[in-house]
Structure formats: structure tokens, C-alpha cells
A = this chain, B = another copy of it.
Amino acid sequence: MNFSIRMATQDDMAQVLDLIKELAVFEKEPDAVEVTVNDLRTNGFGEHPKFTCFVAEVDYKIEGIALVYGRFSTWKGNVLHLEDLIVSQKMRGSGLGTALLDEVVKYGNQLNVRRISWEVLDWNEPAIDFYIKKGADVKRDWDVVHLNEQGIKNYLSKL
């Protein structure tokens, strides 16, 4: 199978959003995606982009994405965070995920970061096996905490 990996452009964002939504369905949160194509176009490009996106293209269609941005670890300093690594359902197992992760690791190395981080659902065993095989450390004792929009409002109303 022929595919190419390249940096995303603003014109790709509609297809990128389709994949983001597809993943949200897989992760059992179909209604969680509030981001719009315009949000992606505005925030990912221009003078101070808030993320960098790689796309995997097959026959001029985007079948996978990896979206990353910098974070600052108080232990390691500058690190790279992989917010999403998505391959369309029909292209799973075709090597696109590996090719995208390769690109992310090369990019992190270019940026000279001391760590690349991401998050995974603990029941997503195929993903976890894949990451471990790649040398990553799945920190099962670290949990993610979210205070959502309503939580922020409630919190402030009690101050």
C-alpha cells in the first residue's frame, strides 16, 4: 500500500476533524468533540501555532493523523505531547500508525525534547501493547484529572 506522511495544511482540517470525531466514537464519548474546523484552522497555523499536525495520506485521502504540541515538565523541561494518534478504522493494521509515530519521535528528537508523552485508555490493550513494544512506559499509576467547563463554573460560584 502506498501512503505518504506530511505536515497538515489548513485545508486538511475538515478531514482531520472527521478522524477526531471517529476516534471519539471509538472511545465511547461521541458527543465530547466541541472543536470546529475553524478552531483547528485558527489555532494550528499562523505565527504562534498551538499544535503541529502530521497527516497520513492514501490516494489523496487523509487516513491518519498525529497531533502534537510542546509542554513544560517541571522534571524534564521541554517535552513533546502527542495529543492524538488516529488511524481511520478501515486502515488499522496497515502501518499508518507506526509511520505516524515514527514521524512524531523524529520530530521530538529534532526539537531536542527529553520526553514524548501521551495518554491511553487502560482498556485499549492493542494500543498499549503497541506502545510498550515501541519502548514507551505506560504509567498505570498516573491518572488524568479534568475540571470541565461546568466544573470551572461551579468551582468559581463557591468562592
- Within the assembled complex, what's the spacing in Å between the Cα atoms of A34 and B83? 24
A67 at the A/B interface (Cβ < 8 Å)?
A: yes
CB–CB B138/A140 < 8 A: no
A69-B72, A114-B34 known; A147+B136 contact, CB < 8 A: yes
* A154 proximity list for chain B (CB < 8 A): 135
In the complex, the count of this chain's copies comes to 2
A33 to B73, CA, bound (A): 9
The DSSP consensus for interface residues of chain A is: mixed
Q: Are B141 and A123 in contact (CB under 8 A)?
A: yes
**Contact indicator B147/A122 (Cβ below 8 Å):** no
Q: Are A142 and B156 in contact (CB under 8 A)?
A: no
Complex CA distance for A99 and B128, rounded to whole angstroms = 37
